[in-house]
Amino acid sequence: MKNWLEGGATEQPVMLVDDLSNSGDSLRKAYDILEWHHMDTFEYAFTLVNKVNEGVHDDNMNKDFLLPEHIKIMSLFTLDDFNLTGNVELH
């Protein structure tokens, strides 16, 4: 079950966190929920894996087009770290 908000609300900004950045739809939904609750966010969102490839998406490595311009994505890994491309077919 997905929890959109974890922990208690405070005056401190909230960091958006997701396991995988793909379409950015989940991060956008979480951002919208925070906005609805009048909660501020950090200028960075955090994901474990950003499904982009360096070289192909250099200009957009840390940007999600569904999030507001001021929020950048920080990730531990990209697909390149696993020698994968965005066109991987799972069997």
Domain spanning 14-82, CATH architecture? 3-Layer(aba) Sandwich (3.40)
Report pLDDT for 78. Answer: 83
* Spatial contact of 84 and 49, defined as CB atoms under 8 Å apart: no
The pTM score is: 0.72
To which H or E segment does residue 57 belong?
none
Report pLDDT for 13. Answer: 92
The domain limits of the chain are 14-82
pLDDT band with cut points at 50, 70 and 90 for residue 60? low
pLDDT digits (tens, 9 = 90+) for 17-28: 888 877 668 888
Average pLDDT of span 50-77: 70
